[in-house]
Amino acid sequence: MNFRISLAQRIYAIVGLSFCGLTGLAAIQASNLANALRGQRQSELRRLTQLAFGIAQEEHDAAVGRGADGDAARRNAAARIGALRFGNGDYYWINDLGPTMIKHPIKPELDGKDLRDIRDPTGKQLFVAFAEIVKRKGEGVVERLCCRSGL
């Protein structure tokens, strides 16, 4: 058997392999960019969360300094945090580890409601996942399908 590859076939093979290599490189770069953007977003959200914690701490310290009860401090902190906005219409809400909604600035009818049955479009129990990661690690990120349902 004598395999002879013509010059044209060699050129096509080189072009084809180069195209495959460039396509693979582009896919790897796109994945790296997506990971970098996700990390940047998580870092920014962590910084913004520290802002909300600072407000809660400030209200707590002020209540302790005045000898006031903790309920007033919690209400003041919830009102201030609920008024915060960031990004493109994004907002803070407060839920406990129950999970029960403490303060929702967009849907106040959720305040005081059990959140266990609220799911994202994929069926994930978001607030249960939020509470579980905090119970387990003290903080964390829950990946979810993006939606604008007001939750």
| 59 in any annotated domain | yes
**Band of residue 151 on the pLDDT scale cut at 50, 70, 90:** low
Residue 12 resides in a domain: no
Structural domain contains residue 147: no
Neighbours of 77 (CB within 10 A): 23
Say if 105 falls within a structural domain.
yes
**CATH number, domain at 74?**
3.30.450.20
pLDDT tens-digit series, residues 121-140: 888 888 999 899 999 998 88
Residue 64 lies in a domain: yes
Residue 124's φ and ψ, nearest 5 degrees, are -70, 135
Kindly report the CA angle at 146 between 100 and 80, in degrees rounded to 5?
45
Q: How many domains does the chain have?
A: 1
For residue 101, what are the contacts with CB-CB under 8 A and spacing of at least 6?
Answer: 93, 94, 95, 110, 111, 112, 113, 115, 127
Residue 31 maps to a domain: no
Residue 76 C-alpha from the chain's centroid: 25
Per residue in 77-116, pLDDT (tens digit) is 999 998 888 888 888 899 999 999 999 999 999 999 999 9
Task: Identify which has the larger pLDDT, 88 or 31.
Answer: 31
Max avg pLDDT among 70-74, 77-81, 85-89, 144-148: 77-81
Q: Is residue 46 part of a domain?
A: yes
Residues 143 and 38: their CA atoms lie apart, in Å, by 10
Show the domain range for 125.
41-137
Q: Does residue 150 fall inside a structural domain? A: no
